[in-house]
């Protein structure tokens, strides 16, 4: 790894620590991209088709494979816990739980965007970030507001076009396997009565990624 890249990684890692996030370096070849991940979005996720950061608007696994092949290095960024809810209980979580996690999602997406932007202006012009979860910069995404068929052209109506990035899982990355390759063991969180979203504790680990070359 050349010295300039090492110095940039240290700088970005320091900036991430200032945001209470942890980092680890991973080779681009260790990112696990699998077709099945997209099925988890398409079948079972309440956010499908409602966010421009998610499928069907996000890149397909095949597109992601081709894109990642142009990089050598990634920085995985880890966010532990849910801001403001250290001792989270299932009964605290509303049925529409996506807005409930707004601070967590913004923590992840704004940090990833800041790291990507920093690297870009430091001369690493290929830097690109993937956040955790659907973005939540707007109360309702234009994708959710539009009637009729799914149409990629509505992306031009995005209110935060400069900020929105796909999540790792939306782009077909197996976050669990990728984190394991980097030395982080993740586990699923049991949900009360097997009810989607009603997690039984707040020890959530969220993962983002910044690719560098």
Of the candidates 209, 176, 203, 207, the residue with the CA atom closest to the CA atom of residue 79: 207
Q: What are the respective helix, strand and coil percentages of the chain, to the nearest 5?
A: 40, 15, 45
Cα distance between residue 80 and residue 103, in whole Å: 13
- Please give the residue that has the higher pLDDT: either 21 or 150: 21
First to last CA, the chain: 10
- Global pTM reads 0.92
The answer to whether 112 and 210 are in contact (CB under 8 A) is yes
Q: What average pLDDT does the chain have?
A: 92
Q: Of 71-85, 93-107, 165-179, which gets the smallest average pLDDT?
A: 93-107
pLDDT digits (tens, 9 = 90+) for 138-162: 988 999 888 877 788 888 899 999 9
Q: Name the H helices within 164-210.
A: 175-181
Tell me what the mean pLDDT of segment 42-52 comes to: 89
Burial of 114 (0-12, 13-18, 19+ CB in 10 A): middle
Q: Is the pLDDT of residue 193 over 90?
A: no
Q: Is the pLDDT of residue 26 over 90?
A: yes
- Domain ranges in the chain are 3-212
pLDDT digits (tens, 9 = 90+) for 59-95: 999 999 999 999 999 999 999 998 888 777 777 877 7
* % pLDDT > 70, the chain: 100
Cα distance between residue 182 and residue 109, in whole Å: 21
Q: Is the pLDDT of residue 30 over 80?
A: yes
Query: Is the backbone peptide bond immediately before 144 cis, with ω within 30 degrees of 0?
Result: no
Q: What is the 3-state secondary structure (H, E, C) of 110-164?
A: HHHHHHHHHHHHCCCCCCEEEECCCCCCCCCCHHHHCCCCCCHHHHHHCCCCCCC
């Amino acid at each position: 790894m050349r010295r300039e890249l090492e110095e940039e990684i240290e700088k970005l890692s320091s900036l991430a620590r200032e945001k209470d996030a942890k980092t680890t370096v991973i080779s681009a070849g260790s990112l696990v991209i699998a077709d099945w991940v997209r099925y988890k979005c398409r079948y079972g996720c309440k956010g499908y088709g409602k966010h421009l950061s998610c499928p069907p608007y996000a890149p397909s696994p095949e597109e992601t494979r081709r894109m990642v092949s142009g990089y050598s290095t990634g920085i995985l960024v880890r966010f532990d816990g849910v801001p403001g809810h250290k001792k989270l209980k299932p009964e605290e979580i509303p049925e529409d739980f996506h807005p409930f996690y707004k601070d967590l999602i913004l923590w992840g997406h704004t940090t990833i965007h800041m790291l990507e932007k920093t690297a870009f202006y430091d001369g690493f012009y290929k830097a690109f970030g993937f956040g955790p979860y659907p973005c939540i910069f707007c109360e309702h995404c234009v994708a959710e507001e539009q009637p009729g068929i799914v149409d990629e052209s509505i992306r031009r109506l995005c209110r935060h076009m400069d900020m929105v990035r796909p999540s790792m899982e939306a782009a077909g990355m197996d976050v669990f396997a990728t984190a394991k390759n980097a030395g982080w063991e993740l586990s699923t969180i049991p949900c009360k009565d097997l009810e989607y979203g009603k997690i039984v504790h707040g020890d959530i680990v969220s993962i983002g990624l910044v690719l560098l070359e």
